[in-house]
Amino acid sequence: MPQPNHIIRDQWKTRVYNKRGDLYVRAVGIPLHVELEPERDPRKIDHVWLTMDVPPVGKLTVSINTLSFFNQHAGYDSRVRLAILPTRYVEKPEPLLELHAPLDYTVLESTHEVQFVAMDYEPLEALLIKKCNAAVRAEVWGDLYIREHLGIHQIHSRRASCAVERDMIGKDGGLRLYYSDGVAELLLFKFCGQ
């Protein structure tokens, strides 16, 4: 007989297989491991993977872009632009996976002082690995997917960019990391032209 967490995990997989378009979710999990995306050819690495435990669903892989191949191949700036919004918290949120409305960067930018800084992929990879390793909780907004694993991607602005014409307004992703000292940081990601 399957364990309850496998039933719940299988229900989420079924939702992904049956979806028509994006399946936006919010997940809160316990960070387990962070690494560069496994790839034989280092020139093809464009993500940092954060594996987190989300009881009772199990492990989820959060796929965070560190450069834009679309922009690079079209001759534009491939760097990711990062903004970090620091906050404080009293209690860590409990692990969960739920359907959730995406973030809207325009709302965040109208209510907070947000400054995006373009980062080369290697310093961005190092920064993300350091911050994810220090986190005691991670909260992510994005699109649930299945490949060899169950994961969340599209952890960035979905507005049109220099190389991508599709303009998805109010359907952005993000990552909030919680640290043991009561500080949390919301990380927002944009590409050239956004």
Phi and psi at residue 23, to the nearest 5°? -120, 90
* pLDDT of res. 147: 84
Kindly tell me if the per-residue pLDDT of 127 is higher than 50. yes
The token duo for 47 is 């993500």
For the segment 13-28, what is each residue's pLDDT rounded down to a tens digit?
Answer: 888 888 877 789 999 9
* pLDDT of res. 2: 46
The domain limits of the chain are 4-190
* pLDDT of res. 7: 61
What is each CA distance from 173 to 40, 79, 156, in whole angstroms? 27, 17, 5
For the segment 72-120, what is each residue's pLDDT rounded down to a tens digit?
Answer: 989 999 999 999 999 999 999 999 999 999 999 999 999 999 999 999 9
Please state which of the ranges 3-7, 10-14, 26-30, 78-82 shows the lowest mean pLDDT: 3-7
For the segment 132-163, what is each residue's pLDDT rounded down to a tens digit?
Answer: 999 999 999 999 998 888 999 999 999 999 99
* pLDDT of res. 129: 98
* pLDDT of res. 39: 81
Average pLDDT of the residues of the chain: 92
What pLDDT band is residue 6 in, cutting at 50, 70 and 90?
Answer: low
- C-beta separation of 64 from 189 below 8 A: yes
Percent of the residues in the chain that have a pLDDT greater than 70, as a whole number: 96
Q: How would you label 157-171 residue by residue, b for 16+ Cβ within 10 Å and e otherwise?
A: bbbebbbbeeeeeeb
Q: How would you label 82-112 residue by residue, b for 16+ Cβ within 10 Å and e otherwise?
A: bbebeeeeeebeebbbeeeebbebeebeeee
> How far apart, in whole angstroms, are the C-alpha atoms of residue 185 and residue 88?
8
* pLDDT of res. 148: 83
Q: What is the pTM of this model?
A: 0.91
